[in-house]
Structure 1
Amino acid sequence: MFVTRFAPSPTGYLHKGHAFSALTAFTAARAEAGRFLLRIEDIDATRCRPAYEAAIGEDLTWLGLSWEAPVRRQSEHLDDYHGALARLEADGLLYRCFRTRREVADEIARAPHGAMEVFRGAPLRPEEEARRLAEGAPFAWRLSLEAAERRLGGFKALTFIEEGSGVARTVQARPQLGGDVVLARKDVGVAYHLAVVLDDALQGVTHVIRGEDLAEATHVQRLLQALLGLPTPIYRHHRLLTGSDGRRFAKRDKAETLRELRARGITPAALRQELGFD
C-alpha cells in the first residue's frame, strides 16, 4: 500500500511552503487510495515548542487535511534512535569528533583549492580520546564514510528511485556529498538523518514526498538505510514555492504564516486554488 507522510518540525508556524508540501503528499496518498501520516519531528528540544505543534494540527485541519492517529512524535521514541546509534557504534561506523562547528568550518575553509568541501575526519588516538572524555569535553558522533565504504564494499550498489520529475529514474547515491555527517550531539540529541530513516522504516513509509531542498539529504539517508538494513522508500522531491522576491518561503525569513492568512480572511479553498490544488 502507498504510504506517505508530512513531517514538520514545531519550531515555528507553518507558511505557504509547508501547505504546498502537505497538500502534495496528501493528494498523492488520496490518488493511490493510500495512507497519509503526520509526524512531528520534535527531536531538537532546544527549538521545538508545544504551541507550534498545536498550531500545526490547527493549520492542517483548516486546510482540509486528515491523518491517521496516533501521531508519531520523535521525542517519544528516543530509545529507538539511540538503539540504532548503538548498532552503528558497535559496528565501528562512528567516531567521536571533538571539533566545534567553528573549527570544522575553519578546517574546510583552509583546504587548498576547494579540496575539502565537506568534512572528513578520523577518530582520535585512544589515549587522547580518553583524556578528552575524562575532561568532560563535548563531542559529536560522526558517521565515518571510510568505515561505511569498507563495510559495504563501496557505494556503487547504493541507488534509489526518484519520481520528482514525474518520471521514475534510478539515482546513484553519493553519500560522499555530505562528508562525515553528525548523527548525534549532546545539545540536540540524535540528528535528523538517523531519526528520519528509522521513522520511515518503522512507519512503513513507501513514498517520501518533500521539497527539493532535501534532495541532497537522500544520499546519506540511503547509506544509513543500507548500514542498518532498512527498506528504501521511493522519493519525490517537489519544487519549492517562492515569494514575489524570488526567495523560497522560510521560517527564518518570517514568511507569512497560515495563521496570518486566516486572519486576513483567506479561505482554505482560495489557498488550495492558489497552490494548484482545486
Structure 2
Amino acid sequence: MSALIEFDSVCKYYQMGDTLVKAADHISMQINKGEFVAIVGQSGSGKSTCMNIIGCLDVPTEGTYKLNGRDVGSMGTNELAEIRNEMLGFIFQQYNLLPKLDLMENVEVPLIYAGVSTSERHRRAKAALEQVGLGKKLHNKPSQLSGGQQQRASIARALAGDPAVILADEPTGALDSHTGREVLGMLQELHRQGNTVVLITHDNSIAVQAERIIRLEDGRIVYDGDAHSPDAVVHPNYALEQEGTP
C-alpha cells in the first residue's frame, strides 16, 4: 500500500542566537490511507513541527515530505494553500470559529476559498453539520453553543471539504473530560467510516484512543507502533532504567 503521508529523513532547524534548534531531526514515517494515528510528545518534542509540516503550514529544512505521492516540501506559498484546501481538514483546540457567522457560514468558509459553488457549499455544510449531530443548530452563532458543540462544528468544517486527511491538533484540550471523550468517540467513528485521522496530543490517555502511536522526543521518533502496546505509553529505555534502579 502506498503511503498517504510520507516523511523521509525530515529535518526542521531553527537558529536561535548561537544555538541551532533541531525541532525535527531526521524523522522518517509513513501513514497509510484509513489509519488513525496519534503523534504524541511533550512540549519541545517536535510534534507541533510535524503537525505544521503535515498540514502544509511549514516545509522541511532537509528531507522529503510527500502527501498522496506529491512532494509538497518544495512547494511555494500558493501551492501549499491549494493543497491545504484540497486535501486537509483541520480541527483545532480553540475551535477557530468566526463569532459573527452562524454554523452553516462557518463550515462554508474553507469551501469558498476552494471555489465551491454556492449551492454545493450549502449542501455540504448542511450534511456535515447533520453528521456531527448539529442539524438543528445550522443558524446558531458559536456563542450560543457549548464547548463540545463548537468543537463538533469545527469537525463539520473539516469534513465538508472531503479531505484526504483529518488533522486534529489537541482537539480535546479546551474541553472537560466527558465532552472530550465524546469528541474522541467522534474521531473514532470517522476513522471507522474510512477517514484518515492524525491526532496531535501531549496526553497519553488521549493518544491510546488511536490505533497507532508515533511518540516523539527531542525531535526524533522513539516509538512507532500499536497504541495498545505497553511500550506505546512507557518508553522502553525508561522502563529498563527503572528496572535497574535499586
TM-score under structure 1 length normalisation: 0.30
Q: Higher helix fraction: Structure 1 or Structure 2?
A: 1
Please identify the structure whose Cα radius of gyration is greater: 1
Indicate the structure with greater strand content. 2
Tell me the TM-score normalised to structure 2 length: 0.32
